[in-house]
Amino acid sequence: MTKITLLVTTVIIGLTLLSILIYTTIITELPNTASLKNINYQTPLKIYSHNNVLIDQFGEKKRTTPL
């Protein structure tokens, strides 16, 4: 093998191992999909139109926050 082929092979193997390491790190930090399906809103989510009219509100607790 030439030096260039050996270098390219080493870089490819190194990038593959780095990708696997990053992937396993990200996967362990993500929440379970079942927990994402059950969302409990603490403060209601308000959806407004482009002209600032309230369209809908999701959630149960309605808290007033001073400005």
- Residue at 64 is within a domain: no
Q: What does pLDDT average to over the chain?
A: 84
pTM: 0.45
Q: DSSP states of 12-29 as a string?
A: HHHHHHHHHHHHHHHHHH
- Residue at 66 is within a domain: no
CA-to-CA separations, 22 to 16, 31, 46, 56, in angstroms, rounded? 10, 16, 36, 40
- Average pLDDT for 32-54: 82
Domain span at residue 12 reads 3-58
| pLDDT reading at 19 higher than 90 | yes
- Residue at 67 is within a domain: no
Q: Provide CB contacts within 8 A for 46, sequence distance 6+.
A: 54, 56, 57
At residue 66 the predicted structure's pLDDT band, cuts being 50, 70 and 90, is low
| pLDDT reading at 59 higher than 80 | no
- Number of domains present in the structure of the chain: 1
- Residue at 9 is within a domain: yes
- Average pLDDT for 39-59: 84
Determine contact, residues 58/41, Cβ cutoff 8 Å: yes
| pLDDT reading at 52 higher than 80 | yes
